[in-house]
Amino acid sequence: MPTAMRLTGLVKSFGVKRAVDGLDLQVPAGSLFGLVGPNGAGKTTTLSMATGLLRPDAGTAEVLGHDVWTDPAAAKATMGVLPDGVRLFDRLSGRELLSYVGRLRRVPPADIASRSGDLLEALGLAADADTLVADYSAGMTKKIGLACALVHAPRLLVLDEPFEAVDPVSGEGIRSILRRYTRDGGTVVLSSHVMELVESLCDQVAVVAQGRVLVSGPVDEVRAGSTLQQRFLELVGFRAGDEEGLAWLRSSSG
C-alpha cells in the first residue's frame, strides 16, 4: 500500500520544552487515519509541521511523494488543511471566504461557484452563506474551515480537531463526507480527543504522547480486543485517581 504521508524523525522545541521528540509516522494512502493523544502530546505541532505551517527543528515530512520543506509548492497543492486554534479571514462572508481560498488555490472560477454551493449545502451553511464568518458560532466556523480545506479537491485532508464544537447532526454530515472521500481514493488524517469517535470513524490510528508515537496501525490491531479508550489509558499510563483524593471537594456539595 503506498504511503500518503510519511513523517521521519520530526523534532520541535519551544524554548526548553520539546513538543515533538523524534516522531515517525506513516499514513497509508486511502486510509482514514486518527491521531489521538492527551493534551500537550504534540498533535497540533506535528500536524503543523506536516502541512508546512511550522518549520521543524529536525526531521522530514513527505506528502504524496513531495517533501513539504524542500518542495513546498507541490506538497501544499495536494493537501487540504484545517488547523485548530487559528483565526480565519472572518471579515469575509462564508461564500467570499470559500471563493478566496478557491482563487488562491487556482481553482477555475466556474468550479469555485458550483463547488461553493455544493459544500455550503452539504455542511448546512447555505442559509448563512452571506453572513460574515465573524458572526458564525464555533461549530459553524469549524464547518466553513472544513469547506475551505475541501474546495480544491485535494488528495489528502489534514484536519486538526475537526469535530470540536460541532453538533451531532453536522458531525454525522462531516463523517459521511469523510467516509465517501476516502472511499473515492482520498486520504484523511485527523486528530481528536474523543476515542469513541476515532474508533467508529477511522480505520487506522496512532497514539501520540510526549511528542512520540506510542503505537500505530489498524484500529483493530491497536485496541487488541479491548476498547480504544481502555487501550489508550494503558498506553499513556493513566493512574486511576485515589479514592481519598480531592476530599475537600465533597464539602462544597453540602
Partner 1 sequence: MVALLVGLKLTLLRNGLRRSVWRTVGLVLGAVYALGIVVAAVAGLVALRWTSTEVTAQVTVVAYAALTLGWLVLSLLVFGVDETVDPARFALLPVRARALVPGLVVAALVGLPGVATVLVALGLVVTWARTPGLALAALVAAVLGTLTCVLLSRTATSAFAAFLSSRRFRDLAAVLLAVVGAGLAIATNVLSRGLGSDLGVLTTLLQRASTAASWSPFGWAWALPGDVARGAWAQAGVHLVLAAGLVVALGATWTAVLDRRLVEPSTSAGGSGTVGRSGRLERLFPADEAGAVAVRSLRYWRRDARHVATLASFLVAPLVLLVTLGLNPDVSPRLVVLTPCVLAVVVGTSVGQDLSFDGSALWLHVSTGLSGLADRRGRVLAALTVFAPVLLAMHLVVAAVTGGWASLPGALGLSAALALGGMGAGAWAGALWQWPGPVPGESPFQRGSSGGLPALASAMVVLVATGLLGLPSLALVLLGAFWRPWAGWLALPVGLVLGLAALRVGTVQGGRLLDRRWPEALRAVSERAG
Q: Which stretch binds partner 1 (CB under 8 A): 20-28, 90-98, 169-177, 179-187?
A: 90-98
Nearer to partner 1, 93 or 191 (CB): 93
Member of 47, 63, 98, 101 binding partner 1 (CB under 8 A)? 101
d(CA 67, CA 63) in angstroms, rounded, equals: 6
Q: Whose grid coordinates read 485517581?
A: 241
- 26: phi then psi, degrees, rounded to nearest 5: -130, 125
User: Residue 187: which of 155, 144, 226 has the closest Cα?
Assistant: 155
Q: Is 188 helix (H, G, I), strand (E, B) or coil?
A: strand
Is position 7 an interface residue for partner 1 (rule: CB under 8 A)?
Answer: no
Member of 40, 58, 65, 104 binding partner 1 (CB under 8 A)? 104
Site for partner 1, residues 11 to 30, rule: CB under 8 A: none
Site for partner 1, residues 27 to 86, rule: CB under 8 A: 51-55, 72-73, 75-77, 79, 81, 83, 85-86
Member of 88, 147, 198, 228 binding partner 1 (CB under 8 A)? 88
| Nearest-approach distance from CB 213 to partner 1, in angstroms | 23
Member of 22, 59, 67, 100 binding partner 1 (CB under 8 A)? 100
Judge whether 95 and 120 are in contact, CB under 8 Å.
yes
Q: Is 245 helix (H, G, I), strand (E, B) or coil?
A: coil
| Nearest-approach distance from CB 32 to partner 1, in angstroms | 21
| Nearest-approach distance from CB 63 to partner 1, in angstroms | 12
Q: Is 187 helix (H, G, I), strand (E, B) or coil?
A: strand
User: Residue 37: which of 59, 55, 15, 19 has the closest Cα?
Assistant: 19
Sign of the Cα pseudo-torsion (155, 216, 51, 58, in order): negative
Is position 126 an interface residue for partner 1 (rule: CB under 8 A)?
Answer: no
Member of 6, 8, 28, 92 binding partner 1 (CB under 8 A)? 92
Phi-psi region of 47 (alpha: psi -120 to 50; beta: other; left: phi over 0): alpha
Is position 99 an interface residue for partner 1 (rule: CB under 8 A)?
Answer: yes
How many CA atoms within 13 Å lie on the side-chain side of 182?
23
- List residues binding partner 1 (CB under 8 A): 51-55, 72-73, 75-77, 79, 81, 83, 85-93, 95-96, 99-101, 103-106, 109, 130-132, 134-135, 148
